[in-house]
Amino acid sequence: MSLNQEKYQEFATLLEQLCSDVTKTQLDAPTLRQCLFELQQWFVQQIVSLTDLDSRQQSYQTEMSKQLRLLEIDVMFLQGARQSATAQARIKTIEERLNTLIRYCQALLE
């Protein structure tokens, strides 16, 4: 496994853990925001810094960056949710976005 693949595998594992925490433990919004911040920092330090990317990897990396930014917005919307139904809908959206990121990593590992 190349260094790039190892990094994508590690990122997928971090995403899976966060997704599990979101769905099973119902993290509160401030904790989720902190976890997301740490995940974004890891992404910038470990993934964005990768070299020798082909165009396919570069495309996925760009999409991952976009999804992470959208995930940050989703978490802000979750913080603003006042009703339980709205909060549950936001959590579902966050879970779907995390699963999208996991699928991107899996595609790069194939």
Question: SS in 3 state form for the chain?
Answer: CCHHHHHHHHHHHHHHHHHHHHHHHCCCHHHHHHHHHHHHHHHHHHHCCCCCCCHHHHHHHHHHHHHHHHHHHHHHHHHHCCCHHHHHHHHHHHHHHHHHHHHHHHHHHC
CB neighbours of residue 98 within 10 Å: 24
Cα–Cα distance, 98 to 48 (Å, whole number): 18
Class of domain 3-109: mainly alpha
pLDDT mean over 50-72? 92
Name the residue ranges covered by the structural domains of the chain. 3-109
Whether 97 shows a pLDDT value over 80: the answer reads yes
| pLDDT in the model for residue 1 | 64
The reported pTM is 0.92
